[in-house]
Chains A and B, each alone.
Chain A
Amino acid sequence: MQPVLAVRNLTVRYGATTALAGIDLDLRAGEVHAVVGENGAGKSTLLRVLAGVQPPSAGHTIRNATVAWVPQETVLPPDLTAAEWIFLSHELCGPLGWLRRTAMRDAATAALHGLHASVAADARLGTLTAPQGKQVQLARALRREPDGLLLDEPTAVLGAAETRQLFDAVRRLKARGSGVLYVSHRLEEVLAIADRVTVLRDGCWVSTDPVGAVDINTLVHRMVGRGPAGPAASVSSMDRSRWSLGAATCEGLRSPLLEVVDLATAHVRGFSLTVRRGEVVGLAGLVGAGRSEILEAIAGLQPVASGHVQCATPPALVPEDRARNGLVPTLSVRENVFLPAPRTWLRPADERRQLAGWIDRLRIRTHSTEAAIDALSGGNQQKLLLARVLRHQPQLLLLDEPTAGVDVGAKAEIHELIRQLAAAGAGILLVSSDLPELLLLCERIIALRGGVAVSEVTAAEASEPRLAGLITGAM
Chain B
Amino acid sequence: MKRHLVSGWSAALILLFELAFFAFVLAPRHGGPHTFANAGNAALILKYSSIYGIGAIGAAIIIGSGGIDLAPGAVIALAAVVTGHVFVIETWPLWLACCSGLLVGVASGGLAAALVVLARLPPFVATLGVMGIARGSAFLITEGRFYDLSQRIPAATTLLHLPLSAWPGLIMLGLAAAFQTVMVRTAIGRHVLATGGNETAARYAGVRVGRVKAFVYVTGGTLAALSGVVLAVVQGQGKADMATGYELDIIAAAVVGGASLSGGRASVVGAVIGSLIFGVLRNALAQIPGGTFADRLILGVAVLVIVVMDRMATGEGR
User: If the complex has contacts A341-B190, A345-B185, are A329 and B204 also in contact, measured as CB distance less than 8 A?
Assistant: no
What mask results when residues 319 to 337 of chain A are scored 1 for a CB within 8 Å of chain B, else 0? 1000011111111100100
- Contacting pair B204 A328 (CB below 8 A): no
Taking CB atoms, residues of chain A closer than 8 Å to B187 are: 340-346
Taking CB atoms, residues of chain A closer than 8 Å to B186 are: 341, 344-346
- Contacting pair B1 A327 (CB below 8 A): no
What mask results when residues 402 to 434 of chain A are scored 1 for a CB within 8 Å of chain B, else 0? 000000000000000000000000000000000
Chain A residues with CB under 8 Å of chain B are 301, 317, 319, 324-332, 335, 338-346, 370, 372, 388
* Docked complex Cα distance between A297 and B59 (Å): 35
B194 at the interface (CB under 8 A from A): yes
User: If the complex has contacts A329-B264, A330-B264, A370-B1, are A339 and B190 also in contact, measured as CB distance less than 8 A?
Assistant: yes
Task: Find residues 198-234 in chain B having any chain A CB closer than 8 Å to their own CB.
Answer: 198, 200-208
Chain B residues with CB under 8 Å of chain A are 1-3, 185-191, 193-194, 196-198, 200-208, 260, 263-265
Q: Binding site of A, secondary structure by majority: helix, strand, loop or mixed?
A: loop
- Contacting pair A346 B206 (CB below 8 A): no
* Docked complex Cα distance between A326 and B203 (Å): 9
Taking CB atoms, residues of chain A closer than 8 Å to B196 are: 330
User: If the complex has contacts A340-B187, A340-B206, A346-B186, are A328 and B1 also in contact, measured as CB distance less than 8 A?
Assistant: no
* Docked complex Cα distance between A338 and B204 (Å): 13
* Docked complex Cα distance between A99 and B269 (Å): 48
A-B contact pairs, 15 of them (CB 8 A): A301-B204, A325-B200, A325-B204, A330-B263, A331-B194, A335-B193, A338-B190, A339-B190, A340-B187, A340-B191, A341-B186, A342-B187, A344-B186, A370-B1, A370-B2
**Apart from A335-B194, A341-B190, 14 more pairs, CB < 8 Å:** A301-B203, A324-B200, A325-B201, A328-B194, A328-B202, A328-B264, A330-B264, A331-B193, A335-B1, A340-B206, A343-B187, A344-B187, A345-B187, A372-B3
Residue of A nearest to B318 (CB): A53
Taking CB atoms, residues of chain A closer than 8 Å to B189 are: 346
Residue of A nearest to B205 (CB): A339
Q: Contacting A339 at CB < 8 Å: which of B2, B3, B185, B202?
A: B202
Residue of B nearest to A326 (CB): B201
* Docked complex Cα distance between A335 and B207 (Å): 13
* Docked complex Cα distance between A325 and B207 (Å): 13
* Docked complex Cα distance between A319 and B198 (Å): 14
* Docked complex Cα distance between A317 and B3 (Å): 30
- Contacting pair A331 B190 (CB below 8 A): yes
Residue of B nearest to A371 (CB): B1
- Contacting pair A332 B191 (CB below 8 A): no
* Docked complex Cα distance between A375 and B287 (Å): 49
- Contacting pair B205 A388 (CB below 8 A): yes
Taking CB atoms, residues of chain A closer than 8 Å to B194 are: 328, 331, 335, 339-340
Taking CB atoms, residues of chain B closer than 8 Å to A335 are: 1, 190, 193-194
Taking CB atoms, residues of chain B closer than 8 Å to A319 are: 204
- Contacting pair B197 A331 (CB below 8 A): yes
Residue of A nearest to B199 (CB): A328
Taking CB atoms, residues of chain A closer than 8 Å to B207 are: 339-340
Residue of A nearest to B212 (CB): A340
- Contacting pair A328 B191 (CB below 8 A): no
Taking CB atoms, residues of chain B closer than 8 Å to A317 are: 204
* Docked complex Cα distance between A330 and B63 (Å): 13
* Docked complex Cα distance between A385 and B1 (Å): 19
- Contacting pair A330 B200 (CB below 8 A): no
* Docked complex Cα distance between A326 and B185 (Å): 23
* Docked complex Cα distance between A328 and B2 (Å): 15
- Contacting pair B1 A329 (CB below 8 A): no
Q: A135 to chain B: closest CB distance in Å?
A: 21
* Docked complex Cα distance between A317 and B187 (Å): 21
Taking CB atoms, residues of chain A closer than 8 Å to B190 are: 331, 335, 338-341, 346
* Docked complex Cα distance between A335 and B204 (Å): 15
- Contacting pair A331 B264 (CB below 8 A): yes
Q: A57 to chain B: closest CB distance in Å?
A: 14
Q: A406 to chain B: closest CB distance in Å?
A: 18
Taking CB atoms, residues of chain A closer than 8 Å to B206 are: 339-340
* Docked complex Cα distance between A324 and B188 (Å): 22
* Docked complex Cα distance between A346 and B187 (Å): 6
* Docked complex Cα distance between A338 and B189 (Å): 13
* Docked complex Cα distance between A340 and B212 (Å): 12
* Docked complex Cα distance between A330 and B193 (Å): 8
Residue of A nearest to B198 (CB): A328
* Docked complex Cα distance between A243 and B190 (Å): 28
- Contacting pair A329 B185 (CB below 8 A): no
* Docked complex Cα distance between A339 and B200 (Å): 13
- Contacting pair B201 A341 (CB below 8 A): no
* Docked complex Cα distance between A332 and B206 (Å): 17
- Contacting pair A329 B200 (CB below 8 A): no
